[in-house]
């Protein structure tokens, strides 16, 4: 069972470290690594091996919906990412394994004087396996310099679904992302064939923040992708019909072998509610299981 009191203690310690890193952005950079290997054993999915190097850590796996799906929670113990940090995540699902991975808290990208922070995520999903990659929100501080590269390799019959929600600037403090640089590259491949390649770049500037080709004055963007199985046009229409928001705009696209949803607006709750509804729809339609919200989202 997931230890909520331990999660609270970890979050308190993380906040202390995060406050120091935010105040002193020249803090010695971290070079953290995380290697996770999931395997199907009978009817259960187990985390059979893990290798971690600070500041990355993984909580003990738990099973809120039975042993078939293993839930994992990644923790960043430094509290936030600063220029010069290098984070590397390598995740492997063996045949028929089923896993859901999220994060313990929102990620924070602090301002940098000149150095770029980098995160690299490599995911290998074997035959018949499925990974649900559902990190919590990322907050990009003004003057942050960051690049994320994610590559997912699918075997035949494998699938991946994932989302990201990003807030540019601490809007509660009337901060906008007008200095810095943010890049995110995601690629999904199967049998040496690209299924989905997504390259995003936002230079910090007033022009990009307000341009209709940038943020259009909206500080929050979100994406949800399901890749590895063909989807019916009816699913696209159902995903669109789930949108109940008023302050943002959304789009849904049928991919060559999957589904892509986009959000741009000003409400994290609005984005989360819609993306969660789409996730639950895809889960029921293509994974044949009902929604099970990770408890860490409720802390």
Number of C-beta neighbours around residue 38 at 10 A: 26
Which whole number is the average pLDDT over 75-101?
A: 96
Kindly provide the residue ranges of all beta strands, DSSP E only, lying in 106-256, ordered along the sequence: 107-109, 117-125, 130-133, 138-140, 145-154, 159-168, 181-190, 193-203, 220-227, 249-255
Q: Would you say the pTM of this structure is higher than 0.85? A: yes
Closest C-alpha to 138, from 152, 130, 148? 148
Which whole number is the average pLDDT over 102-121?
A: 95
With b for 16 or more beta-carbon neighbours within 10 A and e for fewer, the 242-277 pattern comes to bbebeebebebebbebbbbbebbbbbbebbbebbbb
Confidence of residue 291 (pLDDT cuts 50, 70, 90): confident
Q: What is the pLDDT of residue 299?
A: 55
Phi, then psi, of 18 in degrees rounded to 5: -60, -40
Q: How far apart are CA 253 and CA 256, in angstroms?
A: 10
Which whole number is the average pLDDT over 172-188?
A: 95
Residue 141 has pLDDT above 80, yes or no: yes
Closest C-alpha to 144, from 115, 172, 101, 165? 115
Q: How far apart are CA 189 and CA 153, in angstroms?
A: 5
Which whole number is the average pLDDT over 269-281?
A: 96
For 22-26, 98-102, 129-133, 156-160, which range has the lowest pLDDT when averaged over its residues? 22-26
């Amino acid at each position: 069972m997931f230890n909520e009191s331990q999660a609270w203690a970890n979050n308190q310690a993380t906040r202390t470290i995060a406050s120091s890193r935010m105040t002193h952005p020249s803090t010695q950079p971290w070079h953290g690594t995380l290697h996770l290997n999931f395997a199907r054993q009978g009817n259960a999915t187990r985390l059979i091996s893990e290798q971690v190097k600070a500041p990355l850590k993984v909580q003990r796996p738990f099973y809120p919906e039975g042993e078939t799906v293993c839930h994992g929670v990644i923790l960043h113990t430094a509290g936030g990412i600063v220029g010069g940090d290098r984070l590397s995540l390598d995740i492997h699902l063996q045949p028929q394994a089923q896993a859901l991975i999220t994060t313990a808290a929102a990620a924070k990208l602090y301002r940098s004087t000149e150095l770029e922070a980098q995160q690299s995520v490599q995911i290998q999903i074997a035959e018949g396996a499925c990974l649900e990659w559902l990190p919590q929100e990322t907050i990009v501080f003004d003057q942050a310099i960051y690049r994320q590269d994610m590559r997912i390799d699918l075997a035949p019959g494998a699938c991946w679904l994932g989302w990201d929600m990003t807030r540019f600037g601490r809007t509660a403090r009337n901060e906008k992302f007008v200095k810095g640089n943010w890049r995110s590259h995601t690629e999904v491949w199967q049998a040496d064939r690209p299924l989905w390649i997504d390259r995003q770049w936002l230079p910090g500037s007033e022009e990009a923040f307000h341009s209709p080709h940038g943020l259009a004055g909206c500080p929050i963007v979100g994406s949800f992708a399901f890749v590895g199985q063909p989807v019916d046009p009816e699913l696209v229409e159902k995903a669109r019909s789930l949108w109940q928001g008023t302050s943002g705009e959304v789009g849904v696209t049928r991919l060559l072998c999957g589904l892509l949803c986009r959000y741009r607006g000003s409400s994290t709750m609005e984005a989360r509610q819609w993306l969660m509804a789409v996730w639950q729809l895809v889960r029921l339609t293509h994974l044949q299981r009902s929604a099970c919200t990770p408890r860490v989202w409720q802390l």
